[in-house]
Structure 1
């Protein structure tokens, strides 16, 4: 039970969104540390449920090279965990706020990280050297992010790098892809996307275009995540747990300017409860999770 508890505590930061994080307790330097690391993002499938009202037109970002945007990304990941009848523990990582300058180019969008802050003093100190780090994103013609490239400053610690990686992964998997067909106000479409990781997930986001003023869009989101497997493969080959139940659901509203590379404002929150069981020891793990991704000025 002790080994299981330690493993789950170390991995709790990454379990809800499928991305695997590296903690200081690993004692090893992550692959590509202080070098550009490219992380492919699973492809999306969009399906129009209702095309909306006339007039209708395709939703496409018109990103001329050199377009610049300043926006702030804030992510908050809350985890409470209970093993058997032990007291419930809060193992949440600190929230972080990342000022970003985005510039469009011929090969995608490059983000420059500003002065990252956190309410946790230790995390804030660890993140200070990350100022000036670069993040590249490849975007398809319908706005789907297809790759995430991280280039941390050489002085960025592995703890800070893991926190940034986690935040960008959360933001990427709550981003919006547009349908290929022309749509109008009131249009509804789904975005289906696998989320790879120790618990492979199928994420379906239902998008509703609630308002449009030229290239300014307001889109409501409804997110549902379901596991594609009946087991959770623990990191570092530490075994596997049976998934007893898994319910993750969220909602949000995002404002998009088709002339800019990133959302202008908005918040998406996904949360739920999960229960796992170790078949060898009958140990049961319960987790309550909530992830919030917020864009703003």
Structure 2
């Protein structure tokens, strides 16, 4: 082949393979990068979850540690809603990612923003969600999402309010593109949620929540929470999020090889308002972003990514 006969052929070919694999597997990696969104089936990195049935995805354990208990009076923070408690809430997610290999022009792999109105109903050990009319600024995705009206999802939760599992059940006629978009949106929400400490705290309290974020790169995520205000059951909590890779190597999707992690910065801030008598946040916005650089030792190709994610809750 002509490409292979060129002295630079293997490098050019390898860069092309990298770009193809990364395009296919980006959402799987994106959950680790963001979030979440952290959003593909880890078995193959290509198909969305929930095709034709409800799928339950376990979420890694969240470990809380109190840094400062805050001022008196102090009390345990625990969800206090009764089974059957209903709440109308809207989740908005935005995920932007730009990628460049060597000196090739940057490419935009961002996914369209989603606005997901939903009815949350508290169960005995979690929250059941019925999705309303989902919207997106992308015309093609917006059209595909019309079939997802009435879809179901849910969160299994611990007594500390940590999400322990994500349940997804899109309507049967929902397309793969719409399913994948919903999946990524909910993964982002999961990894931007908060768990309460296991000891009494008051205003000014600071605690950390440590959690592994799974994806193409396994990440250690640390969320530092500060209880800035308490008014009865309503809590205002400031958040700082940082992520660090657990290893120096990224195993790419589809068994396409590995990349050495040269640089990795992901961090962000936000504020969330929680009512202990309701199953989901009543308001809040958390933005996390950063950049990464990777090197393919086989071809000397360099991959750079810039990522920005935002999760917003409104009633």
TM-score by length of 1: 0.96
Measured after TM superposition, the shift of residue 12 of structure 1 is 2.5
Q: Deviations over 1:182-233 (max 9, x none)?
A: 0000000000001112100000000000000000000000000000011111
Map of 1:21 onto structure 2: 40
Distance in 2, matches of 1:150 and 1:256, equals 23
Per the alignment, residue 255 of structure 2 pairs with 237
Seen in structure 2, the aligned counterparts of structure 1 residues 56 and 29 have a Cα distance that, compared at 3 Å, is closer
User: Which residue number in structure 1 is paired with residue 201 of structure 2?
Assistant: 183
Instruction: Note if contact 1:246-1:274 (Cα within 8 Å) is conserved in structure 2.
Output: yes
Residue 74, structure 1, aligned to residue 88, structure 2? no
Alignment of 1:20-39 (within 5 A): 20-21=39-40, 32-39=50-57
Go from structure 1 to structure 2 and tell me whether the alpha carbon gap of 1:32 and 1:253 turns closer, same or farther (over 3 Å shift). Answer: closer
- In the alignment, which residue of structure 2 is the partner of 1:8? 22
Residues 50, 168 of structure 2: 8 Å contact kept: no
CA-based RMSD of the aligned residues comes to 1.4
- Residues 82-161 of structure 1 aligned to structure 2 (within 5 Å): 82-161=100-179
Is the 1:13–1:92 Cα contact (8 Å) retained in structure 2?
Answer: no
* Structure 1: tracts of 5 or more residues without a match: none
- 1:30 CA displacement: 5.0
> Distance between the aligned counterparts of 1:142 and 1:194, measured in 2?
17
Equivalent position of 2:76 in the other structure? 58
Residue 252 to residue 242, structure 1, CA distance change in 2 (3 Å): same
Q: How many aligned positions are there?
A: 293
Larger radius of gyration: 2
The 1:31–1:20 alpha-carbon spacing in structure 2 relative to 1, beyond 3 Å, is: closer
Tell me the alpha carbon deviations over residues 4-60 of structure 1, each in whole angstroms, 9 at most, x when there is no partner: 1111122233424325427xxx9x865651201010000011000000000000000
Q: Does 1:223 align with 2:233?
A: no
Partner-residue secondary structure (3-state), 1:12: helix
Say whether the 8 Å CA contact 1:136–1:148 is kept in structure 2: yes
Which position in structure 2 is the counterpart of 1:246? 264
Please list every run of at least 4 consecutive aligned residues from structure 1 whose deviation after the TM superposition is greater than 3 angstroms.
Answer: 28-32
Structure 2 unaligned residues grouped into runs of 5+? 1-14, 33-37
Displacement, 1:255?
0.4
* Contact map agreement 2:40 2:49 (CA 8 A) in 1: no
